[in-house]
Amino acid sequence: EGDRLIGIASSGIHSNGYSLVRKVFNDLDREFNGRPIYETLLEPTKIYVKPVLSILDKFTVKGMAHITGGGFIENVPRMFNGGELTAEINKDSYPLPAIFEDMINKGVNRDHMYNTFNMGIGFVLCVDEKDVDAVIKELIELGEKAYEIGVVTAGGEGVCLK
């Protein structure tokens, strides 16, 4: 309890939620951030193994979650191994990628999206509060974008989005 959650930025939508994406985006040639939107939608999925192995080599990591299908809601609680813990995620702790903002502007419920998409965070690490700054610094030195995105508290809520 009191451990911190560090999110590593995703490279985009990755491979999840494409049934919803097809319903939301019907003009795939439209320009989005200076290129056709289909290029943004097809951005390759980032692989986290090298930076995560480096962190595991240098720090005590208490839990990890790859944010895939099921978004934050289904994936983050898996790191608790059935424990009575809650991941409190601060939605404003990192920049939401423009593609997700565009989906929200097209009418997709923002909170629902946290149960489908990675919402800009592809991997979450749970570390001791004293290691947060050093882990983030290391991830940045490894070329990643990383943010303190939340805290672990007692009680079995799973995920609480704030």
Within 8 A by CB and 6+ apart from 115, the residues are 70, 71, 72, 73, 74
Question: CA–CA separation, 93 vs 101, rounded Å?
Answer: 15
What value does the mean pLDDT take over residues 40-58? 93
Among the residue ranges 88-92, 111-115, 155-159, the one predicted with the least confidence is 155-159
Predicted TM-score (pTM) of this structure: 0.91
Q: Which range among 18-22, 66-70, 133-137, 154-158 has the greatest average pLDDT? A: 133-137
Specify the pLDDT at position 122.
95
Return the structure tokens found at 154. 């007692």
pLDDT grade for 142, boundaries at 50, 70 and 90: very high
> Higher pLDDT residue, 93 or 28?
93
pLDDT at 158 over 90: no
What value does the mean pLDDT take over residues 105-121? 90
pLDDT grade for 131, boundaries at 50, 70 and 90: very high
What value does the mean pLDDT take over residues 131-160? 92
Beta pairing, strands 35-36 & 31-32: antiparallel
pLDDT at 68 over 90: no
pLDDT at 34 over 60: yes
Q: Which pairs with CB-CB distance under 8 Å and at least 24 residues apart come from 78-81?
A: 79/124, 79/126, 80/152
pLDDT at 17 over 90: no
pLDDT at 82 over 80: no
